[in-house]
Amino acid sequence: MGGIHPAENKLTHEVATKVAALPKQAIFPLGQHIGAPAKPVVQKGDKVKVGTMIAEAGGFVSAPIFSSVSGTVFKIDTAIDATGYRKPVIIINVEGDEWEESIDRSDKLELVAAHPELTPEEIVKRVQNAGVVGMGGACFPTFIKLTPPPTAKAECVIINAVECEPYITADYRLMMEHADEILVGLELLMIGAKVTKGYIGIETNKPAAIELLTKKCDEKFNIAGSKFNVEVVPLKQRYPQGGEKQLVDAVINRQVPAPPAIPVNVGAIVQNVGTAFAVYEAVMKNKPLFERYTTVTGKKLQNPGNFLVRMGTPMKDLIDACGGMPEGDNKLLAGGPMMGKALTSVEVPICKGTNSVTIISDDEARRKDAQPCIRCAKCVGVCPMGLEPYLLAKLSEVKNWERAESEDITSCIECGSCQYTCPAYRPLLDNIRLGKSTVMGIIRARAAAKK
């Protein structure tokens, strides 16, 4: 249903991942996942190592945060994060590179068969304790997804390897460079979720990854005596296919109903390839989540590339490693051009969900003036949720919240396809977001009043 085909601009597809240099100072926002912010467990002046927990989970829906560097806690303060606001952070001055001894730093591939202690509960516990969250950008704590509510029953794990955002190639590089680890991660996810069926959804613009993973899955899972069956599903390119609901629909042909339903209500647990890799490292290597694959890209950037980055590294360091910020006016994005957040500062650090640092330059960075809606209906045609963006935007403009609610504004996934396609350059999603958050507030207030 719906969808668009934005220019791919995958400039860094064949650029092998480099290890990013250590920053001088690392910044750790306490709220870099969905849910309650983490609570600091270190104080100014404390010595930390790579992998030391610096903040614990601040509630059930939350995740602990680990230091990615060794050094001294400089201060617990506020700094501008991806939202543009000053938020609580822990800042650590980097000294050397000393790791916690409990972390297995070897390259040896650990297999599940050698670890009989890995019960589903043990896997979920380790994933929780390592602070693993969804690495595709949404940052929902992974252990919660693995323990669905009693009303739903998981039937399969779907690995999201779609990477339908333009520019970003971090997941692709990870697949090409660490396919074995990802498959062990998938195995752990399947054990943790108590299912035996797995899928890997990949768009057909990544034929090498499809071939590689199909071969590896056939050798590892799809053999006589294997408990598991994993299917690599090549998908026709279409944005926003990497959206959770869209992917479940594309892979197992089931549509997740409107909120509050989630994918597991139709039997699917969706995890990003980066998350599968993080799960492998957390469970098998005892390595908490403190580094990730990130693409640093832009048409005017001198040497765009893919990096293995310690979280907390300011974006400026990475941009400088790629030749520095291009001349002229730029838009700096955490994420890709369709759903990424425009940043107000180059000092914003890489977080758990930062899959890309994208720089859009000059004219592409500016919006054109909006013209009158000509009712061409193209926004209706591309909406992947079957909504009418022109109508929702208008209802938000005139503050008709009741009608906006009855027109299902809360189903909007904010993919931006409508605004991308609008020939009149109307700020459709801006208005819909405003309406959506207002309507969600009204719904919450109503629910609270009932209690």
Partner 1 sequence: MSKLIVSLSPHAHSRDSIERNMYGVIIALMPALLASFYFFGLGAVIVTATSVAACCFFEWAICKYILKRQQNTLLDGSAIITGLLLAFNVPSNLPIWIILIGALFAIGVAKFTFGGLGNNIFNPALVGRAALLVAFPAQMTTWPKIGQWDTYLDAETGATPLSIINSAIRMGDASLLEQLPSSFDLFLGSSSGGAGAMGEICALALLLGLAFMLYNRIITWHIPVSILGTAFVFSGLLHLANPVYPDPFTVLLTGGMMLGAIFMATDYVTSPMTPKGQLIYGVAIGFLTVVIRNWGAYPEGMSFAILIMNAFTPLINNYVKPKRFGEVSK
Window 258-277: contact mask with partner 1 (x via CB under 8 A): x--x----------------
Annotation-wise, does 422 bind a ligand?
Answer: yes
Span from 73-81, 121-129, 137-145, 415-423 in contact with partner 1 (CB under 8 A): 415-423
**Are the beta carbons of 25 and 94 closer than 8 angstroms?**
yes
Q: Which of residues 365-384 bind partner 1 (CB under 8 A)?
A: 365-369, 371-378, 380-381, 383-384
Nearest to 207 by CA among 4, 13, 12, 337: 13
Span from 61-69, 182-190, 281-289, 338-346 in contact with partner 1 (CB under 8 A): 338-346
Cβ at position 367, least distance to partner 1 in Å: 6
Q: Which of residues 342-361 bind partner 1 (CB under 8 A)?
A: 342-346, 360
> How many binding residues for partner 1 (CB under 8 A)?
75
Window 318-337: contact mask with partner 1 (x via CB under 8 A): -------x-xxxxxxx-x-x
Cβ at position 337, least distance to partner 1 in Å: 4
From 71, 88, 166, 198, residue interacting with partner 1 (rule: CB under 8 A): 166
By the rule CB under 8 A, 423 interacts with partner 1: yes
Is the previous residue joined to 337 through a cis bond, with omega within 30 degrees of 0?
no
Buried b (16+ CB within 10 A) or exposed e, 219-252: ebbeeeeeebebbbbbbeebbbbbbbbbbbbbbb
Tokens of 354: 């930062």
From 213, 289, 339, 357, residue interacting with partner 1 (rule: CB under 8 A): 339
How far apart, in whole angstroms, are the C-alpha atoms of residue 109 and residue 335?
A: 30
Count of Cβ atoms closer than 10 Å to residue 424 Cβ: 17
Annotation-wise, does 217 bind a ligand?
Answer: no
| Nearer Cβ to partner 1 (95/430) | 430
| Nearer Cβ to partner 1 (227/368) | 368
Q: Please give the angle made by the CA atoms of 15, 187 and 268, to the nearest 5 degrees.
A: 95
Backbone angles phi, psi at 113, to 5 degrees: -55, -30
What lies within 8 Å, CB to CB, of 292 at 6+ separation is 135, 170, 274, 278, 308, 309, 311, 350, 352, 354, 355
Annotation-wise, does 351 bind a ligand?
Answer: no
Backbone angles phi, psi at 216, to 5 degrees: -65, -40
Amino acid at 300: K
Window 207-246: contact mask with partner 1 (x via CB under 8 A): --------------------------------------x-
Backbone angles phi, psi at 126, to 5 degrees: -65, -40
By the rule CB under 8 A, 408 interacts with partner 1: yes
By the rule CB under 8 A, 283 interacts with partner 1: no
- Radius of gyration of the CA atoms of the chain, in A: 22
Window 69-88: contact mask with partner 1 (x via CB under 8 A): ---------------x----
Span from 63-71, 118-126, 136-144, 416-424 in contact with partner 1 (CB under 8 A): 416-424
Which strand ranges, in their side-by-side order, compose the sheet holding 229-235? 229-235, 197-203, 156-161, 268-272
DSSP conformational letter for 386: S
Displacement of CA 264 from its chain's centroid (Å): 18
From 191, 256, 273, 311, residue interacting with partner 1 (rule: CB under 8 A): 256
By the rule CB under 8 A, 364 interacts with partner 1: yes
Annotation-wise, does 322 bind a ligand?
Answer: no
How far apart, in whole angstroms, are the C-alpha atoms of residue 356 and residue 340?
A: 9
From 30, 210, 338, 404, residue interacting with partner 1 (rule: CB under 8 A): 338
| Nearer Cβ to partner 1 (177/430) | 430
By the rule CB under 8 A, 420 interacts with partner 1: yes
How far apart, in whole angstroms, are the C-alpha atoms of residue 360 and residue 342?
A: 10
| Nearer Cβ to partner 1 (187/203) | 203
DSSP conformational letter for 141: B
| Nearer Cβ to partner 1 (112/391) | 391
Annotated binding site: 373, 376, 379, 383, 412, 415, 418, 422
Annotated binding site for [4Fe-4S] cluster: 373, 376, 379, 383, 412, 415, 418, 422
